[in-house]
Amino acid sequence: MSYQHRFADGSPVDLPVGKVVCVGRNYAEHAKELNNPIPTEPLLFIKPSTSIVALGEPIPLVPSRGPVHYETEIALLIGSPLTGAVNETQAKNAIAGVGLALDLTLRELQDQLKAKGHPWERAKAFDGACPLSEFVPAALTPALDDIGMQLKINAEVRQLGNSSQMITPIITLLQQIAAVFTLLPGDVVITGTPAGVGKLQAGDFLNLSIPGLLEQSAQVVA
């Protein structure tokens, strides 16, 4: 695997590349736009390490897979183990960095799988399904309940959100995840997407940012 976690200054992060724990429907408006019920507890699923690529590499569209939808998310790089019952301080101290992710989704396939009551992995966990940005060290990031994010496609704002809008806030999310899945150094948690998701087209130019803190771009290719 050529991917390696990196800080925003380009320096490598001395952590292995682990799993990605994902949170579905953590923004009410996104749940509504897909006609999904708003969950009463975090909806969790996992992408394997093989789904991770560097955000900035070309995003290929594979016609045989069907349409690919984008979902922009705040990403948390885990720097120390979290398992079982952890308190707020432990959860906060485990965050090594904050960045952005694209949760790429084969929406038509996901809908088919959901209709059959089947797992989503074929639509969410394929190779390349999780482009990750570089990470800003946790000490340099805003308060966890006030992290903004923005996605522009071809210079048009498509997604705009803030961690303050999350149904389950970041610290509570880490506590609930750790009670189910042990988080190890090098794992990443992606925390849900705001409204505005849609289909990628060949030639699209994506610009993702945490305003004032981090900015990265990617091109969609056929």
Chain position carrying tokens 């019920």: 37
* Closest by CA position to 1, among listed 50, 67, 44: 50
Name the residue with tokens 């190890």.
Answer: 184
CB atoms within 10 A of CB 46: 14
Per-residue pLDDT, 39: 78
pLDDT in tens, the chain (222 residues): 589 999 999 999 999 999 999 998 999 876 677 677 777 889 999 999 999 999 999 999 999 999 999 999 999 999 999 999 999 999 999 999 999 999 999 999 999 999 999 998 999 999 999 999 999 999 999 899 999 999 999 999 999 999 999 999 999 999 999 999 999 999 999 999 999 999 999 999 999 999 999 999 999 999
The tally of CA atoms less than 13 A away on the side-chain side of residue 115 is 6
pLDDT at 34: 67
Per-residue pLDDT, 38: 76
Class (C level, CATH) for 20-221? alpha beta
What is the C-alpha separation between 201 and 192, in angstroms, rounded?
22
Sequence-ordered list of residues with C-beta below 8 angstroms from that of 112, at least 6 positions apart, any chain:
none
CA distance 71 to 154: 16
Q: Residue 40: what pLDDT?
A: 83
> What is the model's pLDDT at position 32?
73
- What per-residue confidence (pLDDT) applies to 60? 96
